[in-house]
């Protein structure tokens, strides 16, 4: 007697995943893959974890040698670049499927959907209610965040108390994507931006205009007045620093909130970003699944992506890893982000304040140039000079690439 | 614990058959290869016999992670790629049964650390990892990034990166390596990030960047197509090895070393086959459309002979592709040779530098004791004239010893330099007469200075020493007389020379018409204790010291020599834009005495005793401590000190830069004099400390007192 064996007829799909050191995360991805393979007779995903530190290099190398896998894990702000470089092809899924998704969790470029993410990460000011009350600082809300003046007064007042090493921790001890992800929203709240998003052809006027200059001056003053730890200053664990009172407030992600709540219970609050004039803005980000340009099985690969973005997996990730579910239904079903969840506020925060990083192949360059400018300004460089140089560097890159026009 | 298994005969035989099949077309090599294998198997068996746990049937546990094409699983889940093929050959050749254990990269390393894996392939060597694992010395893969420059830019060393605009792919390994190198070397360059690999080359072509750093395969192709230059300097050479736990038997490590070496030395071995298949650049893929076209063409050919013409075109294309491949392979081999040579030279000089630094430290401590006691002895009023003379001679010899250790430190680039802005012609003008006096009458000498010579940032004393060394070398090279020319000139970055530098330089040339240096000796002349002179005619430290000094000063040294015609040594120093300083005054002061309270921290009892006596003799109130902890205790019990004199390297938990910082925190703004036998780079981390002075051991009493006096009065 013979039993039907779906695997025998299955076509294999290779998938690369930026091998997270997080066992929980890897466990969920493996579960999704196993479920998908068992759910249908046509496709079998073979998951390969590439070390995170060399993941981007492996993809670039594979693209050069024609060895890209069928399904790729891709960091959201890089999607446009990889699509432009021809590493990715559009997903073959019904566009309405991603309608309920947070905009930041859908990788789009040139009118096409290239990738979808299973989670979203949001930032907030983490602090304690008792600290605000002690210094008579108003508790802001999503509807009424702190104004620039209120935020300034709060920092100065806490600094003057001498109770904390620093009133605020911005997490600038390291380097990398944190700068554009976490800090460019302040620039945008001032009214500036990393690049002129109406054309994506220049940064002139937005990164070195009047609003950007005011942002730059404020940014520099944070360091000259020692309101925040210096750039590159070795820090112990950030979350620990907030818990033990080294910092009064921390600009940090939703993934750290549960640890702080664990330590201080109901006294913990997470607050929206201050409004520096053009509204509160926070960054948005996720890793997403896409299909490589060389895949001959776009249907199968897209079917996997479609399978992976089911609400049950999104809720599972949210509850296991503390990340924000991209859809309202997944949020509702989540323990942490449901109506009674301790992190439910982050869903509204993401929906109302999250701003995508520039959707352009040039973003990878913009991010680096912006980081350099912030580091130099924090170190005392002339604000106008640095921002002008940054604009020139970005514009030269756009020019060298003929405006990154799609072929 | 190493899980050593019983050899698997079936696997070994299968592998040998496979190997023989590969070598079928090279009959003349088969016997030689077979003997190698037989020898290898015997070595393996001998090693196994010597290993503990031989009776253990557990297979060897080999870490496996995904990093295509070096190591990965194929569509059937079988381990494939470079490392699995070579590992199979080596381990079966040694008679091991083995199994792969799948793990993430970091987890794999941790498992080796914990002894849960017996072998892990594909680990890049680093000093940090060498502390945690045993590396199989024989590297099986070298990788490096490649520098590409425009025709106008010359890059001979990392120092040439200074001031350059360097294009690099954002978020790439090249960017990370470059950022780290710039940080570690203290170089200032501007990164021009690009959004694609091609973008880095484009940045050079349009003049937005002076150079680019990119992957080697791409660099070779693009340089050829765009008339760009690839300097001989490879960037960030990494060697990839097997690692084993630190407690793995030495005999196993030796066997792996030998087998790895034999794989590389044997023509047609699995190593060469795997390298060609997985690592070399020949695997440029055919575009998908070309594959499809070829299939269609093949079908059509079956139907019509008329398409033979098309077939010929395909053959031509493949031939051209093959030619390109051969060229790329050739370029790769050249680059690999250069990379290996560069890595070896760097490691050799670093190793010697560390060695001499360590020796110099101990030697300096001994000299400190001798010099201190001799100076105290000399101060004894009852000393008769003869004893005084003996003491002077002993002191002189001690100072010569100190000079020798300083030269050693110079070679190791650890000497303490005191750079100042100066014009080399003015400095040499001051020692012209002395230089002339060192030369016999049968040697004519000519000095030539550029009239508008630019200023440089150099240690004046060391520059004079370097020139004197070169002049003495020239003298010894012309025993029958000749001509010595010493010239100093500007070399402009936009000058008329064919390969001008990007920054302005000042060039000092010392040319003689002597016997020259034979070609085989030329690449050794900068090594310490290498000399072509007769025994007792030279220490062999002269050029080594000059090399160390020039390199430490950010310059370059070049030597050209033709046997029996003469030698030219060129020192090139970057021009500085800083203002010219006035000539520094004497180091010693006439007001040397004091009565301040000094805390002296030194672990070597003899050195401490000599220093204490010396300071006390000058009137200072000295309190001694034998280490950092004892000094900190004194800080709480004593009424305070006016100055701290301390060694840097001492036993105990508090030492080095951390100790000095802790001392500053504890003693406040009390001036600190740090004495070290290791050279100035020991104190790189203290440059921000005010009123902190570094002095090299051994130091004479008057100079020490003078420095202390200056510091106290500052």
pLDDT above 90 as % of chain B: 14
User: Is the minimum CB–CB distance between A56 and chain B shorter than 8 Å?
Assistant: yes
- Is it the case that residue B482 has pLDDT exceeding 60? yes
What is the domain extent for residue A311?
10-121+285-355
Check which CATH number belongs to the domain holding A244 and give it: 3.40.190.10
More confident residue, A196 or B551: A196
Q: Is B325 exposed, middle or buried (0-12, 13-18, 19+ CB in 10 A)?
A: middle
Per-residue pLDDT, B401: 80
Residue B421 pLDDT level (bands cut at 50, 70, 90): confident
ipTM score for this prediction: 0.86
User: Is the minimum CB–CB distance between A402 and chain B shorter than 8 Å?
Assistant: no
Distance between CA A47 and CA A60 in Å, rounded?
19
More confident residue, B104 or B555: B555
Per-residue pLDDT, A149: 96
Say if the Cβ atoms of B104 and A21 lie within 8 Å: yes
Phi, psi torsion values for B541, nearest 5 degrees: -100, -10
Rounded mean pLDDT of B121-148? 86
CATH 3.40.50.1220 fits B9-140+239-279, yes or no: no
Give the three-class secondary structure for B158: helix
> Average pLDDT over chain B, rounded to whole?
76
- Is it the case that residue A313 has pLDDT exceeding 80? yes
Beta bridge partners of residue A121, listed in sequence order: A285
The shortest C-alpha distance from B215 to chain A (Å) reads 9
Give the tens place of pLDDT for each residue, B47-96. 444 443 344 458 999 999 877 778 887 777 788 889 999 999 999 888 88
Beta bridge partners of residue A124, listed in sequence order: A252
A4 lies in a domain? Answer: no
CATH 3.40.190.10 fits B151-228, yes or no: yes
Angle at B155 between CA B153 and CA B158, to 5 degrees: 140
DSSP B632-684: HHHHHHSS--SEEEEESS-SSSS-HHHHHHHHHHHHTT--EEEEESS-GGGGG
Per-residue pLDDT, B203: 93
Q: For testing the chain B interface, which of A53, A295, A364 should be mutated: the one with the most B CBs within 10 Å? A: A364
Number of Cβ pairs closer than 8 Å across A and B? 88
A5 lies in a domain? Answer: no
Per-residue pLDDT, A20: 58
Same domain, residue pair A142 and A250: yes
- pTM to 2 decimal places: 0.56
Same domain, residue pair A171 and A225: yes
The shortest C-alpha distance from A56 to chain B (Å) reads 7
Per-residue pLDDT, B675: 84
Same domain, residue pair A165 and A31: no
* B215 Cβ contact list (under 8 Å, min separation 6): A61, B145, B146, B174, B197
Most confident stretch, A111-115, B401-405, B501-505, B611-615: A111-115
Say if the Cβ atoms of B195 and A56 lie within 8 Å: no
Same domain, residue pair A328 and A231: no
Say if the Cβ atoms of A369 and B193 lie within 8 Å: yes
Same domain, residue pair A239 and A261: yes
Per-residue pLDDT, A35: 96
Of B105, B194, B197, nearest to A51 by CB-CB distance is B105
Same domain, residue pair A94 and A15: yes
- Is it the case that residue B15 has pLDDT exceeding 80? no
Least confident of A240-244, A264-268, A282-286, B592-596: B592-596
Say if the Cβ atoms of A66 and B285 lie within 8 Å: yes
Q: Return left, alpha or beta for A66; rule: phi > 0 is left, psi -120 to 50 is alpha, else beta.
A: left
Per-residue pLDDT, B280: 63
- Is it the case that residue A254 has pLDDT exceeding 50? yes
Say if the Cβ atoms of B104 and A51 lie within 8 Å: yes
Per-residue pLDDT, B501: 56
Ordered by start, the domain boundaries in chain B are 9-140+239-279, 151-228, 353-411, 419-574, 597-713
- Is it the case that residue A343 has pLDDT exceeding 50? yes
User: Is the minimum CB–CB distance between A395 and chain B shorter than 8 Å?
Assistant: no
Q: Tell me the CA distances in angstroms from A395 to A85, A360, A376, A401, B196, one per residue in order.
A: 19, 13, 19, 10, 16
Same domain, residue pair A254 and A310: no
* B396 Cβ contact list (under 8 Å, min separation 6): none
Residue B584 pLDDT level (bands cut at 50, 70, 90): very low
Give the tens place of pLDDT for each residue, B293-303. 667 766 776 77
Q: Do domains B9-140+239-279 and B151-228 have the same CATH topology?
A: yes
Give the tens place of pLDDT for each residue, A84-116. 999 999 999 999 999 999 988 999 999 999 999
As a 3-state breakdown, chain B gives helix, strand, coil percent values, each rounded to 5, of: 50, 20, 30
Say if the Cβ atoms of A81 and B195 lie within 8 Å: yes
User: Is the minimum CB–CB distance between A372 and chain B shorter than 8 Å?
Assistant: yes
- Is it the case that residue A352 has pLDDT exceeding 80? yes
Of A48, A364, A393, nearest to B195 by CB-CB distance is A364
**H or E, element range at A270:** strand A268-271
A199 lies in a domain? Answer: yes
Give the tens place of pLDDT for each residue, B224-268. 777 888 887 878 777 889 999 999 888 888 888 888 888 887 777
Q: For testing the chain A interface, which of B170, B183, B281 should be mutated: the one with the most A CBs within 10 Å? A: B170
Same domain, residue pair A261 and A369: yes
Longest dimension (CA), chain A: 82
Say if the Cβ atoms of B68 and A62 lie within 8 Å: yes
Residue B3 pLDDT level (bands cut at 50, 70, 90): very low
Say if the Cβ atoms of A294 and B288 lie within 8 Å: yes
Per-residue pLDDT, B507: 94
Rounded mean pLDDT of B429-448? 84
Rounded mean pLDDT of B541-557? 81
Say if the Cβ atoms of A58 and B67 lie within 8 Å: yes
Say if the Cβ atoms of A372 and B172 lie within 8 Å: no
> Average pLDDT over chain A, rounded to whole?
90
A1 lies in a domain? Answer: no
Longest dimension (CA), chain B: 117
Asked if B627 contacts B651 with a C-beta cutoff of 8 angstroms, the reply is: yes
Same domain, residue pair A257 and A321: no
Question: Which own/partner pairs from B49-53 qualify as long-range (CB within 8 Å, at least 24 positions apart)?
Answer: B50/B249, B50/B251, B51/B2, B51/B4, B51/B249, B51/B251, B51/B252, B52/B4, B52/B249, B53/B1, B53/B2, B53/B3, B53/B4
Q: Which residues of A touch B75 (CB under 8 A)?
A: 12, 46
Same domain, residue pair A272 and A379: yes
The shortest C-alpha distance from B76 to chain A (Å) reads 10
Residue A398 pLDDT level (bands cut at 50, 70, 90): very high
Give the tens place of pLDDT for each residue, B315-330. 887 777 777 777 777 7
CATH code matching the domain that covers B597-713, chosen among 3.40.50.300, 3.40.50.2300, 3.40.50.720, 3.40.190.10? 3.40.50.2300
Q: Which residues of A touch B169 (CB under 8 A)?
A: 60
Per-residue pLDDT, A106: 95
Give the tens place of pLDDT for each residue, B640-656. 888 999 887 777 777 77
CB-CB neighbours of B651 under 10 Å: 11
Residue B189 pLDDT level (bands cut at 50, 70, 90): very high
Say if the Cβ atoms of A19 and B105 lie within 8 Å: yes
pLDDT above 70 as % of chain B: 76
CATH 3.30.565.10 fits B419-574, yes or no: yes
Residue B344 pLDDT level (bands cut at 50, 70, 90): low
Say if the Cβ atoms of B192 and A61 lie within 8 Å: no
Of B329, B143, B94, B332, the residue nearest B241 (C-alpha)? B143
Q: Is B404 exposed, middle or buried (0-12, 13-18, 19+ CB in 10 A)?
A: middle
Per-residue pLDDT, B588: 40
Of A65, A294, A404, nearest to B283 by CB-CB distance is A65
Per-residue pLDDT, A71: 96
Of A19, A393, A400, nearest to B202 by CB-CB distance is A400
Of B65, B105, B208, nearest to A400 by CB-CB distance is B208
Write down which residue in A318, A338, A355 finishes a domain.
A355
User: Is the minimum CB–CB distance between A214 and chain B shorter than 8 Å?
Assistant: no
Per-residue pLDDT, B707: 82
Of B106, B195, B288, nearest to A397 by CB-CB distance is B195
Return the residue of A nearest to B173 by Cα: A57
- Is it the case that residue A331 has pLDDT exceeding 70? yes
Distance between CA B178 and CA B170 in Å, rounded?
11
Per-residue pLDDT, B61: 93
Distance between CA B641 and CA B618 in Å, rounded?
17
Per-residue pLDDT, A77: 92
Per-residue pLDDT, A332: 92
- Is it the case that residue A391 has pLDDT exceeding 90? yes
A2 lies in a domain? Answer: no
Per-residue pLDDT, B349: 62
Of A21, A85, A368, nearest to B106 by CB-CB distance is A21
Per-residue pLDDT, B541: 66
Give the tens place of pLDDT for each residue, B607-632. 888 788 888 877 888 888 888 888 88
Of A21, A67, A397, nearest to B68 by CB-CB distance is A67
Give the tens place of pLDDT for each residue, B48-59. 444 433 444 589
- Is it the case that residue A207 has pLDDT exceeding 50? yes
Same domain, residue pair A145 and A75: no
Per-residue pLDDT, B323: 78
Number of domains in chain A: 2
Per-residue pLDDT, B552: 78
Give the tens place of pLDDT for each residue, B671-712. 998 887 665 555 566 777 788 888 877 677 777 887 888 888
Per-residue pLDDT, B579: 65
Same domain, residue pair A296 and A347: yes
Q: Which residues of B touch A58 (CB under 8 A)?
A: 67-68
Per-residue pLDDT, B679: 56
Collect all residues from B whose CB is shorter than 8 A from any CB in A: 65-69, 72-73, 75, 77, 104-106, 169-173, 191-197, 199, 202-203, 206, 208, 215, 217-218, 283-285, 288
- Is it the case that residue B413 has pLDDT exceeding 80? no
pLDDT above 70 as % of chain A: 96
């Amino acid at each position: 007697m013979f039993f039907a064996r779906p695997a025998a007829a299955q076509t294999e799909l290779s998938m690369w995943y930026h091998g997270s050191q997080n066992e929980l995360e890897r466990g969920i991805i493996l579960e999704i893959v196993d479920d998908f393979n068992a759910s249908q007779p046509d496709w079998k995903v073979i998951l390969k974890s590439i070390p995170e530190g060399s993941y981007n290099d492996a993809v670039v190398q594979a693209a050069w040698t024609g060895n890209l896998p069928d399904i790729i894990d891709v960091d959201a702000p890089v999607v446009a670049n990889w699509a432009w470089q021809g590493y990715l092809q559009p997903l073959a899924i019904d566009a309405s499927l991603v309608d309920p998704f947070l905009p930041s969790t859908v990788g789009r470029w040139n009118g096409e959907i290239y990738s979808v993410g299973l989670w979203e990460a949001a930032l907030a000011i983490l602090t304690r209610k008792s600290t605000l009350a002690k210094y008579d600082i108003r508790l802001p809300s999503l509807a009424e965040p702190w104004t620039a003046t209120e935020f300034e007064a709060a920092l100065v007042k806490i600094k003057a108390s001498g109770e904390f090493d620093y009133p605020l921790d911005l997490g600038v001890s390291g380097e990398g994507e944190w700068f554009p992800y976490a800090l460019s929203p302040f620039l945008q709240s001032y009214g500036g931006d990393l690049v002129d998003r109406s054309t994506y052809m220049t940064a002139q006027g937005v990164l070195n205009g009047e609003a950007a200059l005011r942002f730059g001056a404020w940014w520099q003053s944070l360091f000259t007045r020692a309101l925040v730890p210096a750039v590159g200053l070795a820090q112990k664990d950030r979350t620990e620093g907030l818990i033990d009172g080294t910092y009064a407030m921390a600009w940090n992600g939703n993934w750290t909130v549960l640890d702080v709540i664990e330590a201080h219970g109901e006294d913990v609050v997470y607050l929206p970003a201050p409004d520096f004039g053009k509204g509160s803005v926070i960054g948005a980000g996720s890793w997403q699944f896409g299909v490589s340009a060389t895949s001959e099985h776009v249907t199968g690969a897209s079917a996997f992506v479609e399978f992976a973005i089911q609400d049950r997996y999104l809720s599972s990730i949210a509850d296991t890893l503390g990340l924000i579910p991209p859809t309202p239904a997944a949020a509702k079903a989540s323990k942490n982000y449901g109506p009674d969840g301790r992190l439910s506020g982050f869903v509204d925060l993401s929906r109302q304040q999250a701003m995508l990083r520039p959707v352009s192949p040039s973003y990878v360059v913009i991010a680096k140039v912006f980081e350099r400018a912030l580091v130099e300004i924090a170190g005392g460089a002339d604000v106008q000079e640095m921002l002008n140089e940054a604009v020139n560097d970005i514009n030269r890159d756009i020019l060298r690439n003929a405006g990154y026009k799609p072929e | 614990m190493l899980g050593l298994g019983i050899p698997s005969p079936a696997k070994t035989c299968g592998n040998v058959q496979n190997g023989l099949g590969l070598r079928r077309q090279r009959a003349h090599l088969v016997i030689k290869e077979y003997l190698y294998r037989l020898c290898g198997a015997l070595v393996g068996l001998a090693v196994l016999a010597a290993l503990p746990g031989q009776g253990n049937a557990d297979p060897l546990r080999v870490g496996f992670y995904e990093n295509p094409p070096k190591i990965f699983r194929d569509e059937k889940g079988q381990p494939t790629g470079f490392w699995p093929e070579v590992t199979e050959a080596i381990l079966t050749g040694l008679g091991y049964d083995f199994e792969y254990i799948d793990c993430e990269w970091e987890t794999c390393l941790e498992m080796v650390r914990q002894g849960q894996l017996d072998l892990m392939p594909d680990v890049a060597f680093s000093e940090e990892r060498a502390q945690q694992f045993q590396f199989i010395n024989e590297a099986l893969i070298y990788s490096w990034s490649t520098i590409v420059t425009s025709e106008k830019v010359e890059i001979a060393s990392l120092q040439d990166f200074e001031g350059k605009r360097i294009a690099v792919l954002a978020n790439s390994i090249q960017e990370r390596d470059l950022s780290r190198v710039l940080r570690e070397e203290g170089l200032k360059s501007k990164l021009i990030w690009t959004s694609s690999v091609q973008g880095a080359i484009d940045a050079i072509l349009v003049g937005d960047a002076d150079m680019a750093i990119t992957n080697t395969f791409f660099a070779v192709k693009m340089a050829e197509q765009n008339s760009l230059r690839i300097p001989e300097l490879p960037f960030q050479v990494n060697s990839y090895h097997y690692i084993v736990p630190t407690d793995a038997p030495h005999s196993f490590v030796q066997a792996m070393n030998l087998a790895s070496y034999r794989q590389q030395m044997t023509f047609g071995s699995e190593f060469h086959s795997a390298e060609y298949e997985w690592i070399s650049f020949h695997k440029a893929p055919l575009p998908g459309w070309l594959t499809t076209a070829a299939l269609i063409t093949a079908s059509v050919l079956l139907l019509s002979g008329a398409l033979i013409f098309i077939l010929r075109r395909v053959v031509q294309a493949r031939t051209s592709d093959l030619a390109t491949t051969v060229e790329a392979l050739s370029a790769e081999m050249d680059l690999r040779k250069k990379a290996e040579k560069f890595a070896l030279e760097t490691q050799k000089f670093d190793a010697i530098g560390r060695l001499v630094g360590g020796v110099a430290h101990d030697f300096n401590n001994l000299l400190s004791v001798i010099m201190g006691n001799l100076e105290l002895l000399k101060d004894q009023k009852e000393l008769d004239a003869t004893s005084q003379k003996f003491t002077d001679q002993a002191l002189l010899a001690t100072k010569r010893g100190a000079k020798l250790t300083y030269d050693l430190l110079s070679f190791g680039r650890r000497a303490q330099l005191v750079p100042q802005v100066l014009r080399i012609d003015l400095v040499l003008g001051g020692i012209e007469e002395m230089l002339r006096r060192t030369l016999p009458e049968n040697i004519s000498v000519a000095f030539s200075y550029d009239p508008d010579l630019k200023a440089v940032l150099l240690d004046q004393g060391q520059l004079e020493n370097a020139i004197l060394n070169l002049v003495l070398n020239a003298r010894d090279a012309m025993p029958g007389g000749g001509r010595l020319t010493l010239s100093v000139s500007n070399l402009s970055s936009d000058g008329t020379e064919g390969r001008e530098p990007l920054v302005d330089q000042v060039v000092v040339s010392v040319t003689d018409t002597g016997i020259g240096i034979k070609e085989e000796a030329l690449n050794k002349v900068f090594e310490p204790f290498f000399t072509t002179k007769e025994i007792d005619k030279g220490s062999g430290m002269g050029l080594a010291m000059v090399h160390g000094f020039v390199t430490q000063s950010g310059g370059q040294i070049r030597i050209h020599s033709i046997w029996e015609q003469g030698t030219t040594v060129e020192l090139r120093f970057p021009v500085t834009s800083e203002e010219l300083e006035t000539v520094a005054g004497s180091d010693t002061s006439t007001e040397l005495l004091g009565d301040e309270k000094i805390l002296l921290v030194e672990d070597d009892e003899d050195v401490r005793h000599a220093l204490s006596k010396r300071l006390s003799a000058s009137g200072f109130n000295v309190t001694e401590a034998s280490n950092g902890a004892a000094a900190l205790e004194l800080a709480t019990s004593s009424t305070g000190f006016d100055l701290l004199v301390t060694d840097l390297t001492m036993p105990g938990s508090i030492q080095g830069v951390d100790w000095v910082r802790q001392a500053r925190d504890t003693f406040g703004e009390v001036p600190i004099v740090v004495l070290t036998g290791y050279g100035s780079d020991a104190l790189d981390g203290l440059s921000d400390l005010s009123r902190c002075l570094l002095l090299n051991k051994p130091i004479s009493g008057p100079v020490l007192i003078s420095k202390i006096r200056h510091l106290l009065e500052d």
